[in-house]
Amino acid sequence: MKQINNPTSTSISGSTSSPIRELNPQFLESKENKQHLIDYLLGVADNYLILGQRLGELCGHGPNLEPDIAITNISLDLLGQVRSYYQYIAQIKGDKTTEDDIAFLRTEREYKNVLLVEQPNTDFAYIIVRQYFFDVYNRLFLNALQQSGDETLRALAFKGIKEASYHERFSGDWLKRLGDGTEESKVKTQEAVNNLWIFTEELFHKTEADQSMIEVGVAIDMTQFKELYYEKIKEQLTIAAIEIPEVEYFQKGGKQGIHSEHMGFLLSEMQYMQRTYPDSRW
């Protein structure tokens, strides 16, 4: 495994005019800050890992060749991104922890992904709707993260947003095609939207670690683009001739490690090799 180098701040291109608050180098000397930063990074990265795993399950099982290839390509992008975050966490921890330990050797309650990304691959409509709900968030998130006070996070955001925009293009196109497609695809897409909508608000729920990292300028406040997020997906759903659900309450818990019943099954498959043959390597 190659080490990721911290980029120099001068080499960052494309930053916009709003001022970046550079992180105080003494910041990590506080144990509490360090833990909050690790928890914050896990909250970001675990979404990529778990969604990447869900999409990876579809390798060879796509409805036909093109979406099969696309979905596994997206999975690969997400797994590539998550490696950078886990390597960064391992570097911050400074002990013997490796990216593989972080990915494969935690218990369910230690994963901090949102409930949305762990929802099962019920059918193709679910897969696309789940993806679109996440992709729009991810693009807005990475766009904002380019203003992070942490230079590694800025670099990862610059790198990741190109891929995230391409993913959104794919899922957004399919959403239109399915919603405005056949009678059957429309019914299934509407059902997926109705059932997955309740998981969207958790994306904007702030944990203690989020709050603490927002205060020091490492994290960005995702509520600043919440309105934009709902505007964008409502607009796309309308184009797709899908009705916007009205719900009384939203589900959350994943960010605190309280997952749905699907998570255990996902982890048991994902962790099988490392649990059965500890420390096995390629």
Catalog residues that contact other proteins under the rule CB under 8 A.
Answer: 2-5, 7-8, 11-13, 65-66, 69-70, 73-74, 76-81, 83-84, 151-152, 154-156, 158-160, 162-163, 166, 169-170
In the complex with other proteins, the residue whose CB is nearer, 6 or 223, is 6
Residue (of 117, 102, 111) closest to 200 by Cα position? 117
d(CA 196, CA 129): 8
Alpha helices, H only, 197-246: 208-216, 226-239
In the complex with other proteins, the residue whose CB is nearer, 152 or 236, is 152
In the complex with other proteins, the residue whose CB is nearer, 4 or 198, is 4
The CA distances from residue 31 to 27, 38, 84, 218, 220, in Å, are 9, 11, 22, 16, 21
Closest distance of CB 70 from other proteins, Å = 4
In the complex with other proteins, the residue whose CB is nearer, 232 or 259, is 232
Closest distance of CB 251 from other proteins, Å = 29
d(CA 238, CA 243): 7
Check: CB of residue 139 under 8 Å from CB of residue 165.
yes
Closest distance of CB 99 from other proteins, Å = 13
In the complex with other proteins, the residue whose CB is nearer, 21 or 169, is 169
Closest distance of CB 244 from other proteins, Å = 25
Closest distance of CB 3 from other proteins, Å = 7
How long a stretch of residues is the chain?
282
In the complex with other proteins, the residue whose CB is nearer, 126 or 170, is 170
The torsion angle over the Cα atoms of residues 162, 114, 234 and 242, rounded to 10 degrees, is 110
Check: CB of residue 48 under 8 Å from CB of residue 81.
yes
Closest distance of CB 50 from other proteins, Å = 15
